């Protein structure tokens, strides 16, 4: 059991016969009245996001999430194929089962497949990946305002913002949890 006072980002729990994951949380202690926890939670099964408040002493059963390491092989239309490294068994998954994390994953990369009671609901990419910039505008000399950025398309098709000095063909490190540029490689 997990109480609402122990909520943290990424915690999964069962409520109303559904599986929920905490996206954001905030403990609020108003001057008047009782404290409460304001959350933004995502339904793992259908992907809907809801804002909900809880009393800190409310308890929910913690959901056991299985994380299996699989290798991403390729995509064929709306199906994505993964392979178990030990049994070499291939697993096709539908694109809407996987969520947004796949936009930073390229072929032959190891990922974690998330499932609950045999039902696959998502993919966890490595925290940091190194990807090549396939398309970006050229940076202009003298255009050096503090923290200026431009959009860049990665080899996987994802679009991120990078500093002006980054050029097409360079390899960059990306934080997959936030989708932010980290550094040049």
Interatomic CA distance for residues 79 and 76, integer angstroms? 5
Q: How far apart are the C-alpha atoms of 100 and 59, rounded to whole Å?
A: 30
Q: For residue 71, what pLDDT is reported?
A: 93
Structure confidence at residue 76 (pLDDT): 86
Domains of the chain in sequence order: 2-60 (2.30.30.30), 66-124 (2.40.50.140), 129-184 (2.40.50.140)
- Taking 70 as the pLDDT cut, the residues of the chain under it are 97, 99, 140-146
CA distance 64 to 58: 19
- Residue 135: the pLDDT is 93
Question: Which tokens is 103 given?
Answer: 């936009």
Q: What is the pLDDT of residue 138?
A: 82
Residue 176 has which token pair? 């997959």
- Residues 127, 133, 137, 142, CA torsion sign: positive
Tokens of 65: 């999430």
Q: What is the pTM of this model?
A: 0.70
């Amino acid at each position: 059991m997990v109480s609402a006072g122990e909520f943290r980002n990424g915690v999964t729990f069962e409520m109303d016969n559904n599986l929920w994951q905490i996206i954001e949380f905030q403990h609020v202690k108003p001057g008047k009245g009782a404290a409460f926890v304001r959350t933004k939670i995502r339904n793992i099964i259908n992907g809907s996001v809801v804002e909900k408040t809880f009393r800190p002493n409310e308890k929910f059963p913690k959901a056991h999430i299985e994380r299996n390491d699989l290798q991403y092989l390729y995509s064929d239309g709306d199906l994505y194929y993964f392979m178990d490294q030990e049994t070499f068994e291939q697993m096709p998954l539908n694109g809407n089962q996987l969520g947004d994390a796949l936009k930073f994953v390229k072929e032959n990369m190891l990922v974690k497949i998330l499932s609950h009671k045999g039902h696959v609901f998502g993919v966890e990419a490595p925290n940091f990946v190194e990807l090549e910039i396939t398309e970006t505008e050229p940076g202009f000399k003298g255009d050096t305002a503090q923290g200026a950025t431009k959009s860049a398309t990665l080899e996987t098709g994802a679009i991120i913002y990078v500093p002006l000095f980054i050029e097409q063909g360079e390899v960059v490190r990306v934080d997959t949890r936030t989708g932010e540029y980290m550094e040049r490689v």
